[in-house]
Amino acid sequence: MNRILIAAIVLLLSVPAFAAPPDVVKVKFETSQGDFVVEVHREWAPLGADRFLELVKAKYYDGCRFFRVIKGFMAQFGLNGDPKVNAAWQGNNIKDDKVKESNKKGYITYAMAGPNTRTTQLFINLVDNSNLDSMGFAPFGNVTEGMEVVEKLYSGYGDGAPRGQGPDQGQIRAKGNPYLEANFSRLDYIKKATIVP
């Protein structure tokens, strides 16, 4: 065997293999109501899981309000408090994942406005919402610790107008947290979201 071939084999063996993302990752949310943990399962919805972890690593959810909490349905978040950050992500859609898991209580999925429109907004099911499965809402994880915290998130504003007294999503995108603090000061919020080592 010639020296060049031996050197090439040694070099190849010394390069670490590409590390695939882990199949299961835990993310801790520290909120104004306490902490909860989401366990992310890539096999359930790989595109959604990867986007979520990308956003967590970018600290996108830090400071985000739970702006749409409807008792007996779900708790929604994922509009950043900085309009410039919202603008940067708006339209950065990911394709849909197949629905492999049901929208059971505690399961987390993306809000969307039709096929292939998922970006940054998420919701946690507060009850069994399996009727959402046939509409393409694909859960990528579930709350494994602190579901009682999620259930305490402020829901007094309800849905956005005209169905409820909650904030206008366009105003959140345009004006950020100052708009929410001035008009919807009771909303709970995420202090920070971090991947659990």
Domain boundaries, the chain: 22-195
2 confidence band (pLDDT: 50, 70, 90): low
- pLDDT of amino acid 4: 52
Taking the C-alpha atoms of residue 164 and residue 126, their distance in angstroms, rounded to an integer, is 18
Give the rounded percent of residues in the chain with a pLDDT score beyond 70: 89
Task: Catalogue the E-assigned strands of 95-189.
Answer: 107-110, 122-125, 141-145
Handedness of CA 50, 56, 58, 62 (dihedral sign): positive
Answer yes or no: pTM beyond 0.85.
yes
- Of the candidates 11, 36, 37, the residue with the CA atom closest to the CA atom of residue 24: 37
Task: Catalogue the E-assigned strands of 13-129.
Answer: 24-31, 34-41, 68-70, 74-77, 107-110, 122-125
Interval 26-55: pLDDT, tens: 999 999 999 999 999 999 999 999 999 999
Taking the C-alpha atoms of residue 29 and residue 62, their distance in angstroms, rounded to an integer, is 9
Report the topology of domain 22-195: Cyclophilin (2.40.100)
Q: Return the residue matching tokens 């670490």.
A: 16
